Structure 1
């Protein structure tokens, strides 16, 4: 009954590593091929990693929250010669019986030895339900399933929790443990079958003496987040680490090079005095020895009265930050503000909403805005362009692919609606709603966030009015939408029945729905006058929605 090890696959386009966010299984669970076993976050998206085997989970090699390079072993499965699942530690007869038992579907997981047996001998619950049970402190094996064959759904778990069936983790011999959660992974254990590669010591030859190591002193260095973390822990400036490896024309440093440099630097600079404490903490401080040699300020961060909390800067959040930094420090931003009076737009949407609802579509103002933007881009194509600095040319795009910024728990994501000029209002509404929902659920595909030519950000959804949006580089412009609200506007007195009159001007001030607009442009490509004319075209189409019929 061999044990099969499973390595972290390339879960994205060229992704080198990912953070293992959540285990969806635990040792003893039976899984089927293509069943998700873990959630991994890369710098592009949150993805589910499927199993390649039918088998029983033997061991988890990575802790939740740990960064894992692609190609490292993360989990192992025990399978028999026929590829059928065999529970670790169970007798041959029991294992054979379990393996022969049919599963409800590909998402079912059964704990062979860890959980109390249900009447059928198995606990049927998909990974999402097991995760909910862990969050609510519910023992999944104690829940009565209402689905076919006793299958447990989220409603069953919530009902069990509300009835007082949540596990009390503060009592009994197992206080502090999670009855249904993954078993703790002993990352520091010497006898565990860790397949996480320890790159470095054997891969590097001694190319210089152990003393007198000269810092490289580079301005830029490519390295993975895990390598940079090791460098920080060892007190090493990663730009000082010598390397001959190049990637994308830049020096590349791996973890092994950092450790070798740290060891040589320590040997060259730290002199140990027998029988006395060192005057200062050496640069090379092992994290496992932090309780002995770390400075007091480090230990104080774990105290109950610590005044700050640190959150890892990686994954989607880091990608957003790098993109914003690149845009802001590359393209000189200028923001043009204006306000559209949208009485007719509000009325048009109200008239179309019943028909949209009859077609199962939630109609917002966004499709109208998208159509108005396309009209503006057709008249002013330089806002639908990309500056290619290396080629010294401006590419005027002939497609109208609009990115819609969506706020998620992980940060701002920008799914792209392709060929907006070829789609109707209802079709756009349905597509925007679908993309936004999947972005918030972290189910959006990387390919669905590429190919944009212009971006819209709707900060008005949370009550904003004006802003200075950062361009989604390498695009040339971005339009920010404020909240549609009634604000004072000046109208011709003959056009309204009442208001605050100005007899000399023949005007009056009345409340009317308005839409604030904030247009940021790359001033290298677009002049302020062009931006103003583009905004005027957009406002003209929003204030006269019948014009959108031509788009």
Structure 2
């Protein structure tokens, strides 16, 4: 067969790469149906990666020949997802062998289906000696399946070993043991399948982002033994300085000065003092991260939560931190965040005070070791100890809470780190320049 290449009217439209660390995307829907024409730049489909939805434009004018994947399919980057007929010079150069290739059958990949009646079981038997291979662990993490749930999956491997195919089949069946209760072989007691009266009312179906948040939160609570520590900090000097300089800062740098970059600055300094808090667990190994990338939980207009990341926060000055946080918040609210904007977080801050909360008990953003919640800054009468005697003054106080993974962070480290964050906030230099 000749290796000579020629131009053909069909073009393989592939899943684009939407970030350095993105390896796959979920096709949310097709905006151009089979047989319809389109112009260059028209949006052909919407693709989701992690929590970010992306619109994928047409490379040139043409006609949609065939969708190779249906909506809800998860497809690897670089894989053909549609066949197009492009006009002019945009036609793809392919080999003669490609000309005779049969059309690819439309298929769904990794699409979760409802369990059949035969798989809906109310109880399961725990495999207490389940062996979790790195391959099975990767599949479980990708689908937010805890080790506890993995132990419920019937294993078909040698000596009860859980195979990748066992997990894949379990997911395809709709994860029937996700919320099931274990069978007790000793006492004969089984936790009752309580029938709660959930009431009646308007049914609001979860959107895709809310489903992912729910899965991530359940996975985090199942995976990490959460412990939360609390302190309160006197932010009077920080509040006074910020109020006196926010307009000047805006005039000089063109950036709004919120409390977020000031909090990130204090946290980054404390992480350098206690680097073990900036870690994650990989099997029985603790990975202490070299970079200090601070995720900041941000509420969207829809009510959902997203976590954009300030990369290398310890290397940025206040102007750069303000610029980064303002840009990420703006992109979050306008729906313009990219996949890389939310990748690589090593520690997360959740400012629950934005919503008026006094304090919070945040859930760890996996696979991080800890997460900090900052409460509302509230003026209170406080007793201040001075050499000449105690006085009562009006101070700006804030509660801080740190939820940490007790598998890798003990109380001493968590308490010392949290107190150091509070100290940096309290010892704010009111004479600092910017």
Structures share fold, TM-score greater than 0.5: yes
Deviation at 1:531, TM superposition (A): 2.4
Q: Does 1:362 align with 2:226?
A: no
Does the alignment pair 1:67 with 2:67?
A: no
Give the alignment partner of residue 378 of structure 1, picking from 272, 275, 289: 272
**Contact persistence 1:386–1:476 (CA under 8 A):** yes
Task: Please give the TM-score of this superposition, normalised by the length of structure 2.
Answer: 0.66
Pair 1:31–1:548, CA change in 2 (3 A): farther
Deviation by residue 1:481-525 (Cα, 9 ceiling, x = unmatched) = 111121232234899xxxxxxxxx8443x4321121111122233
Change in Cα spacing, 1:320 to 1:225, as seen in structure 2 (3 Å) is farther
Q: CA deviation at 1:434?
A: 0.9
* Contact residue 45 and residue 57 of structure 2 kept, 8 A: yes
Cα distance 1:460–1:22, how it changes in 2: closer, same or farther (>3 A)?
A: farther
**Which residue pairs with 1:176 in the alignment?**
none
Residue equivalent to 2:55: 48
Q: Post-superposition shift, 1:425?
A: 0.6
Alignment of 1:71-82 (within 5 A): 79-80=86-87
Map residues 155-166 of structure 1 onto 2, 5 A cutoff: none
Name 2:417's counterpart in structure 1.
534
Q: Distance in 2 between matches of 1:438 and 1:416?
A: 12
**C-alpha distance 242-196 of structure 1, shift in aligned 2 (>3 A):** farther
After superposition, residues 426-465 of structure 1 pair within 5 angstroms as: 426-465=319-358
Whether 1:311 aligns to 2:225 is: no
Determine if the alignment matches structure 1 residue 387 to structure 2 residue 281.
yes
Kindly report the root-mean-square deviation, in angstroms, between the aligned alpha carbons of the 2 structures.
4.2
The alpha-carbon distance between structure 1 residues 417 and 549, as it changes in their structure 2 partners (threshold 3 A), is farther
Matched, 1:543 2:419: no
Contact in 2 for aligned 1:36/1:48 (Cα 8 Å): yes
Instruction: Provide the rounded CA distance (Å) in 1 between the counterparts of 2:410 and 2:225.
Output: 11
Counterparts in 2 of 1:11-26, with a 5 A limit? 18-21=26-29, 23=31
Aligned 8 A contact 1:53 1:77 in 2: no
Q: Is the 8 A contact 2:32 2:64 kept in 1?
A: no
1:429, distance to aligned residue in structure 2 (A) = 0.6
- Range with greater deviation from structure 2 (443-452 or 337-346): 443-452
Tell me which protein shows more strand as a share of its residues. Answer: 2
Higher-Rg structure is: 1
**Separation in structure 2 between the aligned mates of residue 367 and residue 68 of structure 1, nearest angstrom:** 39
Rounded Cα–Cα distance in structure 2 between residues aligned with 1:342 and 1:258: 52
CA contact (8 A) 2:358 2:375 kept: yes
Query: Is 1:197 matched up with 2:106?
Result: yes
Change (3 A) 1:29 1:363: farther
Deviations 1:445-490 (A, max 9, x none): 2233222222111111111111111122222221101111212322
Task: Measure how far apart 1:389 and its partner are.
Answer: 3.0
In the alignment, the residues of structure 2 paired with residue 311 and residue 549 of structure 1 have an alpha-carbon distance, to the nearest angstrom, of 50
Q: What is the rounded CA distance, in whole Å, between the counterparts of 1:10 and 1:241 in structure 2?
A: 36
Deviation at 1:6, TM superposition (A): 5.7
- Choose from 425, 433, 456 the match for 2:318: 425
**Structure 1 unpaired stretches of 5+:** 85-193, 200-223, 260-305, 496-504
* Contact 2:297-2:308 at 8 Å conserved across structures: yes
Q: How many Å separate the matches in 2 of 1:81 and 1:386? A: 51
Task: After TM superposition, list the pairs within 5 Å mapping 1:458-537 onto structure 2.
Answer: 458-492=351-385, 506-508=390-392, 510-537=393-420
Asked whether the equivalents of residues 59 and 76 of structure 1 are also in contact (C-alpha less than 8 Å), the reply is yes
Alpha-carbon contact 1:31-1:51 (below 8 Å) kept:
yes
Q: What stretches of structure 2 of length at least 5 have no aligned partner? A: 1-7, 92-102, 122-152, 174-199
Deviation digits for residues 304-358 of structure 1 (CA, Å, limit 9, x no counterpart)? xx845252564x4444333333322222211111111111101111233123212
CA distance in 2, matches of 1:349, 1:336: 27
Correspondent of 2:39 among 15, 28, 31: 31
TM value normalised by structure 1: 0.54
Aligned partner of residue 219 in structure 2, secondary structure = helix
